[in-house]
Every structure is written in C-alpha cells, then in structure tokens.
Amino acid sequence: MSFKRLLINLGKLLLCGIAFFVGIEIGGMAASLVGLQQAPMAPGADRNLLRLYSLLSTPLLALALALVARGLSAAFITRSLILWFLTWIVYAVNDQLEGLLVSTYSTGFWFAVVESLVASLLGGVAVAFLFPPAEEGKELVVTLRTFFARRGIWAWLWRLVIAGVVFMPIYFVFGLLVLPFVREYYQQEMYGLKEPAADQILTILFVRSVLFLLACLPILITWQASRRSLFIRLGFALFVLVGVPSILTAYWLPVGLRLPHALEILADEFVYVGVLIALLVKGGAATMPRRRT
C-alpha cells in the first residue's frame, strides 16, 4: 500500500469514527427525550474524560468494521445493516448484559442500548460506504440459497443449536483461567465491580451466546474471501468491539485487572469465531465465485 493510499484510508477511518461519535451524541439525546435514565458513573470515572477516551477509540472501531466490510458480498444497504447489527449487539448490548452480571452501578441498560443504536447505524453506514468490497459478489438471495444448500435441514439444525450456545463454555473456560488474577477486585467490590450472582450467569450467558450468533451469522453467509481471512478479520472485530468499552475506555480500572481480561477477550473471540467457522462454513463456502454487477 502506497503512503498516499494509507493517508486516504486513515482519513476514512477518522470520518467513520466521527460518524459513530456523532451517533452517540444523537442517541443520548434521543434516549433522554423518551425518559430513559443514564447510569451513574463508575467510582473513579469522569464523564467528560470518558467521552474523550470514547472519541479516541472510534477509529479503532472503524478499522475493525472496515476489515469485515471488505469481505462482504452484498449490496450497500445490506452491508450497512450487517455492520450496524454486529456493532450494536457486540459493542453495546453485550457490554450492558455483562454489566448486569459484574457491575454494581449498571442501572442505565436501556439508555445505553438506545444511545448506541444510532451510533452503530451511522458508523455502519459510513464504513459500508467508504470501505466497499474489492469485488461485488452474488446477490443476497443467491448467496443465501448457496450457503444453506450445502447441507441438509437436520445437519443445519444441530449445527445452529450448538453454535447458539457454544459461547457459554468458551466464556467459562477462559474466565476460569483469569479468575485467580482478578477475583480479589470482584470479591472486594472495588471500582464498582461485584461477583456475578449464580442465578444470573447462565441466563445472561445464554442470551449473549444467541445474540453473538445472530450478529455473526450474516457475515458468515455473505463472506466472499477465504476462511482464514474470515477467522482473522471477524475475530479481530469481535475482540475490538467487546474490548473497547470494557477494557480500553475504562481508563479508571487498574492494568492488573484490564490486562488479564484483555487476554481473556482475545482468546474468547478468536476461539469462538474458529468454532463458528468449523460448524457453519463448509469448505469452499467462504470463497464463492465473484463477479462484478
């Protein structure tokens, strides 16, 4: 890539980041207008400083989405909706569900969900427009038919059932690995954290697992590049979308807490994407013949 091309792409990422941040502002006003209550700040956090960190992180969010957008075989509107839904579910809804488990101050669930709805839409549209695929692929109806025709109905049924719950054991395994390093923070309820209630864990994890599948499935269906590229790009995108709100912008949390969780999220997301690809993307399914339209 030439230096000029690099500068152009950096400019595009900044524009996408601005679109996302503007969407946050608009979404926050909309949530307030309908009477939703914003959650109080975590102990040690400052709202203005958090907004600054959020703004600085938006180009990274745009990069994660752009890498995915380049591999999608769909029209502009479809790509925009796919990127919007992925961002909204993984970046916003997932983070709020996690907060219900481990936070003592997560009382603004619906405010945050509505606030991020507009941001995810504007960000998704901007990325889909500025980072189109190198080549247009088959039309969506043809892509859907080709993808699901590769297996019989029962083969799809059991695979989708497993894919719908597989995030749960992955989360548990890597969570247990980092637990010795972070348990004290939760037991002592430092920084507004708390130990998850046993009766909530399975329910919320099941909801998150199903939502993750729903957010990723359109990408698996419309992917036109290699399976390896799908693994790297979607894994990175999930890592960024999950990690930015809970790790990168949570500046008030100590490194001893954030680093283990960052490694946990990194492992979670790449293993999860690898399992999804093994279950749902048959050999050759992610490398469909491409043509210009």
- Among the listed ranges 101-105, 185-189, 252-256, which one has the minimum average pLDDT value? 101-105
CA 167 to mean position of chain CA atoms: 13
- Is the residue at 285 inside a domain? no
- Is the residue at 100 inside a domain? yes
- Is the residue at 13 inside a domain? yes
Query: What is the rounded distance in angstroms from the CA atom of residue 17 to the CA atom of residue 27?
Result: 15
Which residue segment(s) compose the domain that 20 sits in? 3-280
Q: What is the pLDDT of residues 14-68, one digit of tens each?
A: 999 999 999 999 999 999 999 888 877 777 778 888 888 888 899 999 999 999 9
The two three-digit tokens of residue 97, written as one number: 């569900």
Look at the pTM and tell me if it is higher than 0.75.
yes
Number of domains in the chain: 1
- Is the residue at 172 inside a domain? yes
The two three-digit tokens of residue 279, written as one number: 């279950």
Query: What is the rounded distance in angstroms from the CA atom of residue 179 to the CA atom of residue 162?
Result: 26
- Is the residue at 291 inside a domain? no
pLDDT tier, 291 (very low <50, low <70, confident <90, very high otherwise)? very low
